[in-house]
């Protein structure tokens, strides 16, 4: 089958696009409002985009009933955020933080999560998450949007510090069988990474990648 995306005439019960770009890592982002209210939300239009210096992106679409999504508003106001890794054990808490609550509500309390202090930025980390990346805003870029009232926006951040819980390491490397991160597929589906295989890159590629 083929369908053009301008009409979205796929004749399927649900839009398949997100299932075609999967699995997507979940950037579980904690921020602080200018007034100091802590906010958390999951974003699966998220990825790392460079490693030296390390940089990440996430994209936010549409608005909340009260206006733009709190995460992007807070980042615009403070220039800082923390990306926390979502794991199998934290899946319900992650989902709870996707609720469209008002900017006055502390989402750590809402999801039963605890705050851990960051070292280089003000927003707190999610204490229960085994990996937290402290980020400073690099740029906010408008993406194509069909409706100017429902904008698509990309946020780029410089990862200035990384916390790793040593419990998820084996021989000094992050062990995915211990981490059990979750990622987003299409529809209501998720994947949990608990099986891993390795391949060496041809032509000295491993050396280039620093391995
Ligand atoms: C797993 C998951 C991934 C999500 N990914 C995105 C995304 O990439 N972009 C987006 O705009 N909303 C995404 N959402 C919805 C936001 O989390 C939701 O709108 C949330 O209320 C935003 O909170 P905020 O206003 O505190 O930023 C996702 C929700 C879930 C559960």
pLDDT at 185: 98
* pLDDT at res. 208: 78
Cα(133)–Cα(162) distance, rounded to whole angstroms? 4
Facing residues of 47 across strands? 57
Residues whose CB is less than 8 angstroms from the CB of residue 155 and which lie 6 or more positions away in sequence, other chains included: 57, 58, 59, 60, 72, 75, 81, 137, 139, 140, 141
Nearest CA to ligand 1 atom 14: 43
Residue with tokens 């916390």: 163
Which ligand 1 atom lies nearest to the CA of residue 39? 26
At 211 the pLDDT is 84
Q: Which atom of ligand 1 is nearest to the CA of 61?
A: 11
pLDDT digits (tens, 9 = 90+) for 191-208: 999 899 999 999 888 887
Give the chain's residues under pLDDT 50: none
pLDDT at 158: 99
CA 63 to ligand 1 center in whole angstroms: 10
Instruction: Select from 61, 56, 63 the least CA-distant residue to 26.
Output: 56
Helix, strand, coil percent values for the chain (each to nearest 5): 20, 35, 45
Whole-number pLDDT of residue 209? 80
pLDDT of residue 210: 81
Cα of 4 vs centre of ligand 1, distance in Å, is 26
Q: What is the model's pLDDT at position 54?
A: 98
Residue nearest to atom 13 of ligand 1 (CA): 43
- Cα(10) to centroid(ligand 1), Å: 25
| Ligand 1 atom closest to 94 (CA) | 31
What is the whole-number distance in angstroms between the Cα of residue 186 and the centre of ligand 1?
Answer: 14
Q: What is the pTM of this model?
A: 0.97
- How is residue 94 written in tokens? 């992650």
CB neighbourhood size of 179 (10 A): 20
For tokens 């509500």, name the residue. Answer: 105
Alpha carbon separation from 131 to 27, 101, 142, 164, 168 (Å, rounded): 11, 25, 29, 5, 9
Residues present in the chain in total? 211
Q: Is the dihedral of CA 162, 167, 172, 176 positive or negative?
A: negative
Ligand 1: which of 98, 105, 150, 191 to mutate, judged by most atoms within 8 Å of the beta carbon?
A: 98
Residue nearest to atom 20 of ligand 1 (CA): 98
- Is 63 in contact with 149 (CB distance < 8 Å)? yes
Q: Do residues 201 and 42 make contact, with C-beta atoms less than 8 angstroms apart?
A: no
Q: Which residues contact 108 (CB under 8 A, 6 or more apart)?
A: 30, 38, 40, 114, 115, 124, 126
Q: What would be the CATH architecture of the domain defined by 18-208?
A: Roll (2.30)
Look at residue 100 in the predicted model and tell me its pLDDT. Answer: 94
Query: In a 3-state reduction of DSSP, which class is residue 39?
Result: strand
Pocket of ligand 1 (CB under 6 A): 26, 39, 41-45, 59-61, 64, 69-71, 95, 98-100, 184
Cα torsion angle, 170, 171, 176, 177, sign: negative
> What pLDDT sits at residue 194?
86
Q: Are strands 173-174 and 131-142 parallel, antiparallel or unpaired?
A: unpaired
């Amino acid at each position: 089958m083929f369908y053009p995306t301008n009409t979205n005439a796929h004749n399927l019960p649900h839009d398949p696009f997100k299932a075609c770009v999967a699995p997507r890592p979940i950037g579980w982002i904690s921020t602080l409002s200018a007034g100091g209210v802590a906010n958390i939300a999951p974003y699966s239009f998220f990825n790392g985009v460079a490693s030296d210096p390390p940089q990440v992106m996430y994209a936010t679409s549409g608005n909340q009933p009260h206006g733009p999504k709190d995460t992007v508003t807070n980042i615009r106001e403070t220039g800082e955020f923390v990306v926390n890794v979502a794991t199998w054990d934290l899946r319900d808490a992650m989902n709870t933080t996707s609720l469209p609550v008002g900017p006055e509500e502390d989402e750590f309390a809402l999801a039963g999560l605890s705050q851990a202090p960051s070292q280089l930025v003000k927003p707190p980390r999610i204490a229960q998450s085994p990996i937290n990346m402290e980020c400073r805003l690099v740029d906010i870029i408008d993406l194509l949007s069909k409706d100017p009232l429902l904008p698509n926006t990309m946020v780029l951040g410089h990862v200035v510090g990384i916390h790793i819980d040593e419990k998820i390491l084996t021989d000094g490397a992050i062990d995915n069988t211990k981490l059990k991160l979750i990622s987003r597929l299409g529809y209501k589906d998720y994947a949990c990474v608990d099986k891993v295989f390795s391949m060496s890159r041809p032509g000295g590629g491993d050396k280039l990648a620093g391995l």
